Every structure is written in structure tokens, then in C-alpha cells.
Structure 1
């Protein structure tokens, strides 16, 4: 084996361990008796499921409510964001209209800036419309942001579909709506799966916008609620936090494993044209 190959494997092994070890530590800590995350060994000397039971029985924290809020926001954001991306990218790819190039350029410029730069503007806008502390406000923020970040992937995918399909359907008397619903959408399964999962994952784990918009405990999502658990000055519920973090990761982990093939196909589908 060549020295450069050995060096590559060493670097990849170190990077893998640096990612896996902290996650494994949190998982093991969630089964550890007591409240402290500190442990002399990775594997706890005594295992317990008390922290997981407390997640659903605790009167101090509203974990079940946080979980339900997060699921609601993530699912609706994925549905609305995917619909917006589907319609917008299809229009950009298949139709020619005034302002199309300017719109694409504007979306490209917006992609250059991190989303948290708009925090102040979003806060003021939601305040003016009396939408603060509302899940629908959070859904609108996530879905509109997802459209900006995914429209070029989806448009690139539609650019790879031959226009001869559209033309053949039109010759047979199909309307634009028939072409879109019966030809384009079935062909977009991989791309739509990728976009939906990316939007869902972003909404599921987001902290910044959820912290900005949601103000009361009954409206909080998991990211905000778990942060509040360990942010309190007198809090020592670190193993409780670890158990909550493990349950937080399970839906996303299952979806990524289940839809892995669609993710790879969807990510590369729009790579050849833009």
C-alpha cells in the first residue's frame, strides 16, 4: 500500500472517530445513573432507563409537547417547502417569462448569505403581522428558506428531462397541468424525496429561528426545550438532556437510512445542468 493511501486512511479514521465518539458518549450517558455527563469510562458502570421514563412523566419539563410541536413544524415545513420548490423550479426550468433571469440571479445571490443574517428583518416582519410565538410563522420561515436553497437543485433536475416528453404529450392533447402532474411529478420522485428530507431535517434540528420566534414553553420545539434544560444556572439534568437528545436523533436517523438511495439519486440528479 502506498504511503499516501495509508495517510488518507489515517486521516479518515481520525475524522470518523472525532464524529462518532461524542455521539456515542451522549448515547452511553443517557443510560448512566445520576445526573452528571462526566464519567471515567465510556460504558457506564450501571445502566438505567430512568431518564427515558422521566422524559414522558416529568412535571418539570414538557418533553412530549416539545416533540409534538417539532413533528408538526417539521412535517408541515417539509410539505409546504417541497410544494413551493416543486412549483417554482418547474416554472423556472420549463417556461420563459419576463423577469425569469433576474429572479434566478436574485435567488443565486440570496444563497450566498447565511440565513441568520435575516434574523432582525424576520423578527420585525413577524412582529408587524402579529405572528410571533406561532408555529405557522416558523413553518413559513423554514419553507420559504428551503425554496431559496433547493430551487437550483430541482431546476437542474428538470433541465435534464428532455423537452420531447412535454412536446409529445402536448401533441396528444395534454394540457400543461396534465404534463406536470402525470409526467413530471412521477419522474421527480427521487428529487422530491431529497428536498423533503433536507427540509424536514433542517426544521427538526433548528434552534436559531425557533428561539427567535417561539416565546412560551408550550410552543417550544425540542431544540429550544433541550437547550433550556441545561442552560439554567442550577440545572444538573445532563443525563436527562442526553436521553432527550438521543430520542431527538432517532426519526432523522431512520429516515436517512430508509431513504438513502433516493437521497443519492436526488442529490446528483440535477448536477449535470443548471
Structure 2
């Protein structure tokens, strides 16, 4: 009887928990589903602005056709976003891996002070340096027309300070492997590239995804550096200025279509790399 009562209570508890989670999921997903549905609203037969209904009366690809037409620079903005995010992801991943490996495996004077200093500096928001960075980039011609390389440079320059998770993952790899390789005559670089990197696939993917997401969603600094130069905008900056200078009500469905297209790569990346992303986070959080 005791076991039966326990199973019944456990079943009821699970049912209540699942119902609660389903309701929370519906509430959380509703805005995203609404944006996707609004992007398929016919621009020719319905208003292009915000309406009280969610499901379109007539589905159409008018809004997506508009984005790929010659009436906007959406493809240019999209390519700018891809270029910035790709190079930042690659370069920042390389820098973070190298710095994290050095801090994890090597012992040198000032190592602890360096890590503590970076930790403290990382507590300050990056917005504090915006004015200084803008004038510095302007001196080298890396604003407005040169905003794309300027944004890449700024994102990569301080990336070594984000060593925390990656270093924690490297700490979980037995140092005995490094010592055995050193006895066999392998150099630090060879150990890093031929032994450590092949065993660090989860943290590499995690680092690359985090590095990719930052410039992909960047608006504040991107708008600051590329101010006034339409061809250097990323999608976030361009679409905001697009609906701000045009009729927002008339361009709402087109804005939704642009948002759906910019979300697709991120969704696909997390769907296919979710396993490695979780392993990278949990593995890097074990030791510090």
C-alpha cells in the first residue's frame, strides 16, 4: 500500500509538472510564433502594419520577396553580419583557446595576478569604453566605411579575458598526458595541437558559438561605429533604422520577415550543436 501510494503521488506530481512546463513553453513561444506568422501575411491584400489577429487571413511570401528585391540593402546588411560574426567566432576562439591553455598548463610569475586582474576588469561593462574606442578606431579609419574590420578588431582584441570556462575545461584534462608527451620530446605547441585540441571539441564549439552570438546580435556598438553609413550596417542596426525612418506600421510585416531570416542560422547552429554546447558548459564549470 505504501509503495502504491508513493507511485500515485509521484505520477500526479509528474503530471502537474508537465502541465506547468507545457504552459510556460506556450507562453514563451507565443511571441516567436506570432512573428513567424506575421511575416507570411500578404502585403498586397492585408495591411503591412500591426493587427489584432495573429494568424494571417492569406499566407504570402510578399515580405520575403521584398527583402530580396532591389528596393532594400537587406542582402548587404545580412552579408555584413555574417562576415563580422564569422571572423569574430574564428579569431576569438583561437585567442581564447591559446590563452586558456597557457593559464591552465603553464606556471609563471604574475599568473595569478593576471587572472585576478582580468576577472576584475571583466566586471566593468564594455560600454564605458565606447567613446574612447570610437575615437581610437576613427584615427585608423575603422569607423563608418571601415566599420566592419573595426567591429571585428574590437571584438577580438579583448577576447582573451573570457578564459574562465575554457580554462576550467582544460583543467579537467589530466596533466599526466602532457607530462608523458613532454618526456617523449613533444613541444608545448605540439601537445596543444595534436593532443589537447582533439580532446576539446565541446569547449571549442561552445567558445565559437558564444563568440558568434555576440556580433550577430550586436546593436549598440555596431550602430555607434557604423553611424551614418548604410553599407556598413549589420542587420540589427539596419532594420531598426529602416523601420524608424519609414512607416513602422506599414513595414511591420517586412520587419518580421527580416527577423525570421536572421534567426534561422542561430536556431540551426544550436539545434545541431546543442550536445557539444552543454558538454562545454558543464565541463568548464567543474574546476577553475
How does the TM-score come out when normalised to structure 2? Answer: 0.88
Decide which of 212, 219, 225 is 2:224's aligned counterpart. Answer: 212
- C-alpha distance in 1, partners of 2:18/2:176? 47
Matched, 1:244 2:265: no
Which range is displaced more, 202-211 or 253-262? 202-211
Larger Rg, first or second structure (1 or 2): 2
Give secondary structure in 2 for the equivalent of 1:54: helix
Tell me whether 1:187 sits opposite 2:199 in the alignment: yes
Q: Does 1:228 align with 2:237?
A: no
Deviation at 1:83, TM superposition (A): 0.6
Q: Which residue of 2 aligns with 1:135?
A: 148
The reply on whether 1:47 has 2:56 as its aligned counterpart is no
- Given the alignment, which residue of 119, 125, 134 partners 1:108? 119
Separation in structure 1 between the aligned mates of residue 148 and residue 53 of structure 2, nearest angstrom: 41
**Which deviates further from its counterpart, 184-193 or 28-37?**
28-37
Q: 18-27 or 260-269: which moved more?
A: 18-27
Q: Which residue in 1 is equivalent to 2:282?
A: 268
Shift of 1:181: 0.8
Q: Deviations over 1:173-212 (max 9, x none)?
A: 1111111110011111110001101111111111111111
- Equivalent residues in 2 for 1:87-166 (5 A)? 87-133=98-144, 134-149=147-162, 151-166=163-178
Specify the alignment match of 1:174 in structure 2. 186
In structure 2, what is the Cα distance between the partners aligned to 1:209 and 1:244?
20
Q: For residues 194 and 40 of structure 1, do their structure 2 counterparts lie closer, same or farther at Cα, with a shift above 3 Å needed? A: same
In structure 2, what is the equivalent of residue 28 of structure 1? 37
> What 5-or-longer segments of structure 1 have no aligned partner?
none
Determine the C-alpha separation between the residues in 2 that align with 1:233 and 1:43: 25
- Matches of 2:230 and 2:97, distance apart in 1: 34
> Counterparts of 2:203 and 2:173 in 1: how far apart (Å)?
12
> Is the contact made by 1:36 and 1:237 (CA closer than 8 Å) also made in structure 2?
yes
Is contact 2:50-2:252 (8 Å) kept?
A: no
Question: Deviations 1:102-142 (Å, cap 9, x if unpaired)?
Answer: 21012211222233232222223222333212211101222
Residue equivalent to 1:81: 92
3-state DSSP of counterpart to 1:173: coil
Contact 1:193 1:266 in 2 (8 A): yes
Given that 2:48 and 2:254 are in contact with CA atoms closer than 8 Å, whether structure 1 keeps it comes out as no
Shift, 1:13, TM fit: 4.4
| Bigger mean CA deviation after superposition, 156-165 or 31-40 | 31-40
Q: Give the Å deviation of 1:146.
A: 4.0
Instruction: Give the secondary-structure state (helix, strand or coil) at the position aligned to 2:230.
Output: coil
TM-score by length of 1: 0.92
* C-alpha distance 230-7 of structure 1, shift in aligned 2 (>3 A): farther
Query: Contact (CA 8 Å) 1:82, 1:147: kept in 2 or not?
Result: no
Report the CA distance between 1:161 and its aligned residue: 1.1
Aligned residue pair count: 272
